[in-house]
Each structure stands twice: as structure tokens, then as C-alpha cells.
Amino acid sequence: MIRIQRLVLGLLFVVGLLLAAAPGPAKPRNVILLIGDGMGPGLVTAAGIRSGEPTHMERMSVTGLLRTAIADTLPLDSAAGGTALATGVSVPNGRVSTSADGAILPTILEKAQAAGKATGLVTSGSLVQVPAACFAAHVANRSAKKEIAAQLLDSRLDLLLGGGRKHFPKTEGWRLLDGIEQVGTLARGRTLGFFERPEVDEPAEPGSYLTTSSLVQGALSFLAPARKGFFLVVVHDQIDQAGHKQLPEAGLQQVLELDAAVGVCRRFAQESKDTLVVVSADHDTGNLTLESGTPSQRQVKLSYSTSRHTGNPVPVYVEGPGSGGFTGTYDQTELPRRILRTAGLER
């Protein structure tokens, strides 16, 4: 009997190893790129300490660092950082997916669209703000919000969720949402939802605005039925706001909110088994420092050394098919190239 039990246990162990080693898809069918505007590595570390366990970002299978000190100007603004992530090209500050000589730079979202994938853009800030606008608009200056809004409406994206309603006086050709629960699926047609929220230092009642994870959940349910898969870009803006206003506790809470959205995406990816999830930042804001604390008791004292952007590297966290190709330290402009290559979207 003992021998039989040992044999059964041995067989179960071997089966487990075979299942664990079973190859997944060679390339992802879906891609989700999440961007923490202004999120440096220190904030992610602090978020893990405060929550008492590693963040979803820290639990992802591959980590790396992106060099942001790559352009002629140091540090990058959100237009140049967003353009680097969206197009793989380094441009002067202020430009939105256009080169220094005015040429239009195709974005990874546009390339996914051209390949037949459903596409979505979600932001916790205004849709006309950078870095979000860098994925679907092309202007010489980030302040051209009217032109950015017009280009977003003229884009062939399937889903737009974010703030900035005042910049969109006309919305012909789009199905407007009154609430995220109405998002439905792709079959409903091109969908636009405006969801405003206060600045980080403005008072707000709990539940008075939708969190990024709520917007992401709606976007995933909308895009999931896509026959050829989807490409979703998510931007969380308020981390940058906290850095500029030197509010470290607010910055920490904003990273935790983004991390909750990362958790939603990870669960979707683990169920679908064909989704690549990438998390990074356009630049670091504030150079957050962990001054002191007792991590075992979830205590940490934080401070910003500046209210401006820095040239510090930013983290990248990746999980899903092809994620092994994202490890290491490399230029920020390399990240979108690796995403395109991994997803088979290079042209």
C-alpha cells in the first residue's frame, strides 16, 4: 500500500511539472499597457510597505528599468515621455507624437488598430492631456487641446474613457455613456465615456468618482469579445499631481489605486492566458525618498526632494506571453518596440 501511495504521489508530481511546463501561446492575443504618470520606483516600494505585502506590480514575473535621460532635454515632460512610450521615438518636450520636424509618428495603438485589433484608451485624467493623448493624437504642442480632442474623435479607436468633457462640444459618431455600467461590448459600436474626478488635493466624498480599476474593468468587458484580440492603454494621472504638489501620502494612495487596476488586469490575463500586461511610467516626478520607518509594521516616512520631473529611471513590470523579452535596463523608447515585436505587430 505504501508503495502504491508513493507511486501515485510521484505520478501526480510529474503531471504537475508537465502542466507547469506546458507551452502557452507564442505571442499574446491581447496587450494591456498601464502607465503611472510620474511613478518612480520609490513609490512602488512604499506602496508595498504600506499595504503589508508586495504590490501586484512587484509580483509580476518580469521587472526592469527604463532610462528616461535619453533626449536632448532633461528631464522629460509628459508629452515627450508619453510619445516615447507610444511611438518609440525621442522628441523634444511639448510635442505629442510628432517629430521635431513635424512628421507624424505612428503609435503602437494605431499599429494595433491597423492589424485588426480592437483598441481602447482609458485615463483617470482628461483625455486631451498627455501622456494619454500621445497614443491617438499628433500635434506640435501639448497645449493644443481643441485639436487633440478633434483628433481623438476622428480616430478609429473603439473605446475612450476619461475626463475632459468641456473639450468635446460635439461627439458625433460616438455612443455616449451615462455610466460605466452601460459600457456593453464592441457590438454596441464606438463608445465614449466622460468620467471626471477631482485633483489630489481637492476634497471628495468616497464613491463620488470612478476609480481607475472600475474604468479598466468596464474597458476589459467591452474589448474582450474582439475576434482578433485587443490593445488597451491605461493612464493614471494623479501620481504626477501628487509629486508636483509634494504630497507624498497622496502619491502613495494614487500608486495603490493604480496597483488595484493592475490587479484587475492580472486576473484577466491569468484567466485568458493570452494577454500581455505591461506597467511602466512616462517619467519620475518628485524623486520620492523613503526616509525612515518600520516596514514590518507597515510604517514608512516619505518625502519628495523636488516638485519637478527628474531624469531618474522608471520601473517596468511585465507578465504574460513573451514577457521574458522585457527584462534588463534599456531606453524608454525601446519598450514600445519590444511590445510590438512580442505581439507580432511590427510593420
Provide the pLDDT for residue 8: 40
**pLDDT (tens digit per residue) in 125-166:** 999 999 999 999 999 999 999 999 999 999 999 999 999 999
Share of the chain above pLDDT 90, in %: 86
Confidence at residue 347, expressed as pLDDT on a 0 to 100 scale:
65
Q: Which amino acid is at 306?
A: T
Q: Left (φ > 0), alpha (ψ -120 to 50) or beta: where does 38 sit? A: left
Residue 89 in this model has a pLDDT that exceeds 50: yes
Average pLDDT over residues 178-205: 91
Residue 314 pLDDT > 60, yes or no?
A: yes
- Is residue 20's pLDDT more than 80? no
Q: What is the pLDDT of residue 74?
A: 86
Query: For residue 204, what is the DSSP state?
Result: -
**Residues with catalytic roles:** 78
- Whole-prediction pTM value? 0.92
Read off the pLDDT band of 229 (50, 70, 90).
Answer: very high
- CB-CB contact of 76 with 84 (8 Å): yes
Give the helix/strand (H/E) hosting 154: helix 145-154
The reported pLDDT for the residue numbered 12 is 38
Summarize the confidence of residues 212-222 as an average pLDDT: 97
Is 286 buried (19+), middle (13-18) or exposed (0-12) by CB count in 10 A?
A: buried
